Chains A and B, each alone.
Chain A
Amino acid sequence: MTRKASPTVLAFQVPANRGPRRLGVPFTHRGDNRRLVAVEDVLFAEMNDPELTDAFAEAEIDRLAAIFGLSAEEVAELYRPAELKPAVAGEPHRRRGRSTRAR
């Protein structure tokens, strides 16, 4: 299978050791483990897990507040900004449902 030449030749430079592709999707075979990512990136991605979203537990926040002499207001400003949002009285709870119409 051949591809048309591109006006930007550089766009077609491909490493000699690159694996074959089928329908634009690279084959994944047992030996294809040359790509490596730093563990920092993986740990960072894991922190998007809802269970790990908070950087530190409440106890650690309280400990830091005691160390640096932060008042309760400052702790709320810096570490619990959600608590500062005024609740809108009487606002109906919005139902969470599908965003697209069923077909």
Chain B
Amino acid sequence: MTGFVVLNNRRGIHGLAGATLPSVEAWSTAHFGRDALQFCQVLTARFNAGFLALRTVSAERLLVRASLYQAGVRVATVALRFDPPQRRAHITWLVVTPTGRGGPTSRHLLQNLLLIERDCGITRMTLQAGLTHGGYVWAVHGFLPSPDAAWPVIAARLAAKFAAVASNFTPAQGAAVDGLLRSADRRALRAIAALAMPFGSATLGKHLLMGESWPGELDLSDEASSVIYMRRIGLIP
């Protein structure tokens, strides 16, 4: 049983339905500080329209699946899980239609999500970095492996990958990269992503992390991580 919200932000029309809508309203009032309609309006801000399905789990977690529209065309679909008592939001998946490429769709959506997280007191975003580009993209967006124990496993894979191409680099570069991969500090993932030595048509950092899959988290209470993220999604220059 799910609550449904339909919004037409251009015409100011909305519709709410679903048997569990009262529990969604209660969740939104308790954790977001405003009603469910306003929650949906923030998530769909700067989009013409949205269709949202919301469901609460154990009165504390909210599952959201939203489709967002511009000019009558769906431009993005997202599935999220909010868990304010744990101060955590999880991006299950986020897809954009080809019309969203090169436009501000993904950035606007991530900015809207950040506004909701701020108002819900959420300080941690989690996701599974994967697919073709995700292993590199989310590292460059400030995400780090979580839990800490995940990093040595990733580092071992990256070390094997680097060993295969190490002959292309100077001994000094090779030693420095090996040193980063031996570090127990998970922030070494960020140092690896930033590697700027050219390799093929990309950088070594990009080459090593492309195609990788790792569980990631972004700690918004960590200034360094939040600055990287906000710079990436266009909130700060």
Contact = CB atoms under 8 A, between A and B. Distances in A.
A64 to B, nearest CB: 5
Contact of A40 (B74, B138, B170, B185): B138
Interface of B: 72-77, 93-102, 105-107, 109, 129-134, 136-138, 140-141, 170, 172-173, 176-177, 179-180, 183, 185, 187-188, 190-191, 193-198, 203, 205, 224, 227-228, 231-232
Given A39-B96, A78-B177, A45 B102 contact: yes
Contacts of A78: 173, 176-177, 194-197
Given A55-B196, A56-B140, A78-B196, A42 B72 contact: no
Contacts of B76: 39
A93 interface: no
Given A36-B97, A68-B191, A30 B134 contact: no
A57 interface: yes
A33 interface: yes
Given A35-B98, A77-B176, 17 more contacts: A33-B99, A37-B97, A37-B101, A39-B96, A39-B106, A40-B134, A40-B138, A43-B232, A45-B101, A46-B107, A64-B191, A67-B187, A68-B188, A74-B172, A78-B195, A81-B197, A81-B198
Interface in A29-54: 30, 33, 35-47, 52, 54
A36 B95 contact: yes
Given A33-B97, A42-B96, A68 B136 contact: no
10 contacts: A36-B77, A36-B95, A37-B100, A40-B129, A43-B133, A47-B137, A77-B170, A77-B172, A78-B173, A78-B195
Contact of A63 (B98, B224, B232): B224
A73 interface: yes
B195 A37 contact: no
B194 A39 contact: no
B173 A77 contact: yes
Contacts of B93: 38
B96 A70 contact: no
B132 A64 contact: no
Contacts of A74: 172, 176
A30 B74 CA distance: 9
Interface string A53-93: 01111001101100110100110011111000000000000
A55 B140 contact: yes
